[in-house]
Structure 1
């Protein structure tokens, strides 16, 4: 065991998809296409909502923040993944790895409370429609989104500082496509009790607490929808929540698949698959989910073009 705050490793090697050389060209083309779609899709959502005054509502205010998070989240990982596939190496400095980890956690951890805020918005819209504008005013929306970003920054700061204090004495090969907490902890030569504690604290306060808010909100929403007598009214109420429900499901399923496992016991192929889903694929499909069934967004697109 190496004693003291000493790190002999200066360069990490991200193995990424080195075990699939026969799919290298396919993966390069696929990731470039998906990343381009992420930039265009989320950029278009932000542009539409900013330009169209009819979309200046709490729901779309939260959606703008979600699109920005998705765009930045994918930008932290996708370009590096594409570069590694093209160049055939996965070299990244320790400082670069910690920097990538810092921004990765900010956007990942900020999304959970933001999804909770969006669930609360849908709860107020359906369960208290007459008081919706009074409750969901600009100040409250701004505070909820600000808290989401601040929680993400705090969570990222704690994890990054804790990870920077890990002693890495070798090996330096990370069995992942980018620098993440668990793969780095697997390379630790020092005690990682504090790091593990931070992971569980994040899971409880940022994961379970926010998920509970979403569950409680939708329990009340479902109860309210059931009481609506007309079939058309029930369908209209449900359709306003459908997009958010799909996004929440994808977000939590991929995170659980990635982090709900023992640190020393993991399936590398499953880790890579889950990582690609929530960093590359999810940011692509979120704009589609919110636009394909949304008449307001469709009208805004027609107006823009």
Structure 2
């Protein structure tokens, strides 16, 4: 009995690839049957575990955000301890720990060290640049600066008007930063330049996408198709962005709670400011844009104080 070397094929597949493609014809994405009718080409999506370049991973996720915040907190504690040890010892140490220049210097060192380290470290995890991973997008901020700066200024002046109508304790820890003109100038430079940059990278760059990614992952249907779609896409749902905007804004307000003596009305105003900054970041897809709005917002506060105190020369005029 003769045994064929290859099994027989059905008639409807017998003419598959029966004609060699020309040199100019592109290769099909999937096998294409040559039939009497027109050929149908169905492009195959890349598998989630495909080697080589493909759909980029979702970053920064919650683990990256925790790492960033933990490193910032550690460097802040270390910088405060070192500066305190170098400047004062003995009985004066406790009082010196609350000195405005010492606190601002410690925060500046911590912020700069955290940002610099993150700039070189996280690209190793993300396999892309730091700015690309955070969606910094400076071009969007530059193109829309004529709109973003007024948004920050108007928001700042509006918040100052609202703050004058809400109850605030007579004495708050923030007042310690406005005792001398040199202290105020230092806080002005820090609050207009470095402060907004670090806070936007932390809250709108890391925490906002991290909470949104976590929300979408936890709400993902436990099916192979859903998991495959998760690995082949990078978009975030509207629900996840709303959830993340609220949660990250709560943390943003709590960051300033001690400075404002836990005045909940003032903290709610800051919560709303954070929502505005988040909206700018989402609409422009640019952390640089929200940073510019944040800087303009802070500048409006210091500008009002500068005018009210005669160029920081009469700080006794300060009223809330």
TM-score, scaled to structure 1: 0.29
Flag the structure with more relative contact order, 1 or 2, with Cα contacts below 8 A and sequence separation at least 6: 1
More helix by share: 1
Bigger Rg, structure 1 or 2: 2
